[in-house]
């Protein structure tokens, strides 16, 4: 089993989503001691896509410049980690009702027409099938699944668009209102998590 472990919280050791992703990975590796883990802290920086990225990655120039080669290599590296993974464990802290910019940047980097998805006569088809995603959702006051939660809905949609439809959430929402209750809910979800 190959596990891709992604964190994106800006709060360091105080992060609930980081704690929960670590516990999920520990549960998976306890059941699969030979699992290989690739860890990436998206908070260390994920380049946002821009016009240069579009010309380098999407337009596939015949003679790419050194800068374009660098942009292509970065995007390819993110995508290969996902392609190689059987399970993605993703930390989803909620900031301002949505996912962190660095997690959105990562999604933009891996959403590549013809590689991670394609358009067909029946509509778009995700090409990253057969993978599982475990999402550690942490929010101070945004209830998961509520009208104000644009984070979990968007992430589930994007993963599904890319072909990853086996998605499990570990919710720790309402942390600012009743931290103990939120952590109890998250621990219950972790206990029920099939390794």
β-partners of residue 39 are 5
- Give the separation between CA 42 and CA 146, rounded to whole angstroms: 26
User: In degrees rounded to 5, what are phi and psi of residue 4?
Assistant: -105, 115
pTM above 0.85, yes or no: yes
pLDDT in tens, 82-100: 999 999 999 999 999 999 9
User: Which residues are part of a known binding site?
Assistant: 15-17
pLDDT in tens, 133-187: 999 999 999 999 999 999 999 999 999 999 999 999 999 999 999 999 999 999 9
With a CB cutoff of 8 Å and minimum separation 6, the contacts of 180 are: none
pLDDT in tens, 105-138: 999 999 999 999 999 999 999 999 999 999 999 9
User: Which residues are part of a known binding site for FMN?
Assistant: 15-17
pLDDT score for 137:
98
> Residue 59 in contact with residue 65, Cβ under 8 Å?
no
pLDDT score for 195:
63
Judged against a pLDDT cut of 90, whether residue 60 lies above it is answered with no
Domain 2-192 annotated CATH 3.50.50.60: no
pLDDT in tens, 11-50: 999 999 999 999 999 999 999 999 999 999 999 999 999 9
């Amino acid at each position: 089993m190959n596990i891709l472990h992604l964190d994106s919280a800006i709060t360091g050791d105080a992060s609930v989503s980081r704690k929960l992703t670590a516990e999920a990975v520990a549960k998976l590796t306890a059941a699969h001691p030979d699992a290989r883990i690739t860890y990436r802290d998206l908070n260390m920086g994920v380049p946002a896509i821009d016009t240069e990225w579009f010309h380098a990655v999407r337009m596939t120039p015949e003679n790419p410049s050194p800068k374009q080669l660098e942009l292509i290599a970065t995007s390819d590296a993110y995508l290969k980690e996902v392609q190689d993974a059987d399970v993605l464990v993703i930390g989803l802290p909620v900031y301002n009702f949505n996912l962190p910019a660095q997690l959105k940047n990562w999604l933009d980097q891996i959403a590549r027409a013809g590689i991670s998805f394609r358009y067909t006569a029946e509509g778009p088809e995700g090409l990253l099938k057969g993978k599982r995603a475990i999402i550690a959702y942490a929010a101070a006051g945004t209830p998961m699944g509520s009208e104000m939660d644009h984070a979990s809905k968007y992430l589930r949609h994007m993963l599904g668009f890319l072909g990853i439809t086996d998605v499990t959430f570990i919710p720790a929402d309402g942390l600012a209102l009743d931290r103990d209750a939120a952590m109890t809910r998250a621990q219950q979800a972790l206990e029920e998590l099939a390794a």
